[in-house]
């Protein structure tokens, strides 16, 4: 959209420039203009469920301070606040990665940790994309893209690049984590269902002083061969420890489109 078009929309009152002020807590997309697939509420989605408001419109507000949208998410947030090691297991769309990264950004902004370390296995989802050109960062970028997306949703990409240049945010594949000690850091291991038992054991032992580690994954969506993923076994073993919190999210915690929960119930 051009600058002239934005000025016209601001004059007509269809575009509120105040939402981009620093003190603004909520940034709402201008859904009043144009067509949207969520314009009307369907009979299968009740008011107030699946992100819909009482008038049937889908809530597309961006809230700077995150809030739990289900009991499972509330349990996950409380676990991250009170435990140094948290395992979040659940189906797609339950906000596992988003909440973990949001709490990581919150801790970095508050000065509770000195850096954020994000890691995920470089495993292809059932198909090989072949040789990737470029430097190491270019080859790994497609695998780490979901982490960039979650970060850019909490911070601007300009700020993300600046923090990465300073070393305050680090994104690395699982294969590069061996031998490290992560002190004063907030560590997020994403897509842990694609890690073997040995890999998860290696990652868990990276935890250093004054650090928090959150491991997220869905044991039912592993891209590894059957029986190779170690997430379920590791979660069952660590659940017996009082200092470790294992949060198991369910279909009722899905905050994506209501069809996601319906589809996962039959697939």
| Domain 71-266 of CATH type 3.40.50.300 | yes
pLDDT in tens, 38-90: 444 444 444 444 444 444 444 444 556 788 889 999 999 999 999 999 999 99
The residues of the chain that CATH labels 3.40.50.300 are 71-266
- Please tell me the pTM assigned to this model: 0.72
Mean local confidence (pLDDT), 197-215: 95
pLDDT(31) > 60 = no
Which bin fits 142, alpha (ψ -120 to 50), beta or left (φ > 0)? alpha
Q: Is the per-residue pLDDT at 23 higher than 90?
A: no
């Amino acid at each position: 959209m051009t600058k002239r078009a934005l000025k016209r929309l601001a004059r007509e009152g269809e575009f509120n420039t105040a939402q981009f002020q620093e003190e603004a807590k909520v940034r709402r997309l201008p859904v009043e203009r144009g067509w949207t697939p969520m314009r009307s509420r369907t009979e299968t989605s009740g008011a107030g469920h699946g992100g819909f408001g009482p008038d049937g419109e889908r809530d597309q507000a961006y809230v700077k301070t995150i809030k739990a949208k289900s009991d499972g998410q509330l349990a996950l947030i409380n676990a991250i606040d009170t435990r140094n090691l948290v395992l979040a297991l659940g189906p797609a769309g339950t906000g596992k990665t988003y909440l973990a990264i949001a709490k990581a950004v919150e801790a970095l902004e508050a000065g509770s940790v000195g850096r954020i370390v994000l890691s995920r296995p470089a495993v292809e989802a059932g198909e090989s994309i072949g040789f990737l050109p470029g430097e190491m960062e270019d080859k790994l970028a497609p695998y780490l893209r979901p982490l960039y997306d979650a970060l850019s949703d909490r911070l601007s990409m300009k700020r993300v690049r600046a923090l990465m240049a300073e070393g305050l945010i680090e994104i690395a594949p699982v294969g590069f984590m061996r031998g490290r000690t992560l002190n004063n850091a907030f560590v997020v291991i994403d897509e842990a269902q694609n890690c073997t038992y040995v890999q998860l054991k290696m990652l868990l032992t990276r935890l250093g002083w004054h650090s928090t580690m959150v491991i997220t994954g869905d044991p039912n969506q592993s891209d590894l061969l059957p029986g190779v993923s170690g997430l379920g076994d590791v979660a069952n073993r660590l659940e017996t420890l009082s200092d470790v919190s294992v949060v198991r999210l369910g279909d009722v915690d899905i905050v994506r489109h209501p069809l996601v929960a319906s589809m996962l119930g039959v697939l």
